[in-house]
Amino acid sequence: MRWKFLLRPGWLALTLVVFVFATACYTLLAPWQFHRDDERQARNAALTESFTAPPRPLDRVLPAGQAPGQRTEWTRVELRGTYLPEHEVIARLRTVQGEPAFEVLTPLRTTDGQLVLVDRGYVRPDDHTRVPPYAAPPEGQVRVEARVRQDEVDPQGRPAFANASTQGRLHSYVVSSSVVGAATGLDLRPGYFQLAEGQPGVLGALPLPKLDAGPYFSYALQWIAFGSMTLFAWLYFTIRELKPGGVLSGDRPKPERRKSVAEILAEDERREAGLDGARRG
């Protein structure tokens, strides 16, 4: 039967690979890119709104110590309180506008007693390795406007540290209230707050992300196309094998065996002998 080729090990392996790949395209890779596109759209909407919306009190944006999320990130909030420079932490291995930088993280105690982490911006390395001198935050009570940010996550879970290479300062690999809180002993609320240009205590204001859609939607469509083309290719070759002459179906005529030189010479001799016999007759 022509269908027997479907049970051959090679064809079964090919079929398994094709359907696993297509399933991954439809259920994992394309949805993942659609999800990233949704995140980018939400971020762009939040950024756009933050340009025109006035800053709001922190407790109205994040009530009861709520952690920032996708809907609240980049919202502008108003903070009133006092900086705690003795608990300052330096975020290392940062890149700002394509160049290395350090970010300065300073806790702030608000007037209602909450402890929040403020990202005062960046400074460029001195001699490409060390933190240069930078301005201390203002003393006394200040009023600042900042954008809400979600804590970064270090996949390796490294804590903040201080040694001779850090000039005695605490250094962290991520901007995270939990990492800074564990290193300083402060009960910081989740998330951190990024200062804008012109705010009290700001250093080099961090640039905002560009408002572009990104390639994620087109990537998702490409994964769907790859999965579909794989299935169509499998279907095409399956139909071709069912027709007479298929490579695996066994209906293809076997190619003739090539003759050896000795066989060709023997045939020539027999042909000449036959011609000579015909002439004598």
Give a three-class secondary structure readout of the chain.
CHHHHHHCHHHHHHHHHHHHHHHHHHHHHHHHHHHHHHHHHHHHHHHHHHHHCCCEEHHHHCHHHCCCCCCCCCCEEEEEEEECHHHCEEEEEEEECCEEEEEEEEEEEECCCCEEEEEEEEECCECCCECCCCCCCCCCEEEEEEEEECCCCCCCCCCCECCHHHCCCEEECCCCHHHHHHHHCCCCCCCEEEECCCCCCCCECCCCCCCCCCCHHHHHHHHHHHHHHHHHHHHHHHHHHHCCCCCCCCCCCCCCCCCCHHHHHHHHHHHHHHHHHHHHC
Structural element, H or E, at residue 277 = helix 261-280
Which residues, at least 6 apart from 143, have a Cβ–Cβ distance to it below 8 Å? 78, 79, 80, 200
| Cβ contacts of 278 within 8 Å, gap of 6 or more | none
**Prediction pTM value:** 0.68
33-65: pLDDT as tens digits: 998 888 777 777 777 777 778 899 999 999 988
Phi and psi (nearest 5°) for 95?
A: -130, 125
Residue that wins the pLDDT comparison between 274 and 223:
223
- Report pLDDT digits (tens) over 182-237: 999 999 999 999 998 999 999 999 988 776 777 888 999 999 999 999 999 999 88
Contact status, residue 96 vs residue 78, Cβ threshold 8 Å: no
Please report, for the chain, the start and end positions of each structural domain, with discontinuous segments joined by +: 1-52+215-255, 57-195
Only one residue has tokens 């300083």, namely 184
Say yes or no to pLDDT of 26 above 90. Answer: yes
At residue 254, the pLDDT reads 59
Instruction: Kindly tell me if the per-residue pLDDT of 251 is higher than 60.
Output: no
Which pLDDT tens digit goes with each residue over 78-114?
999 999 999 999 999 999 988 999 999 999 999 999 9
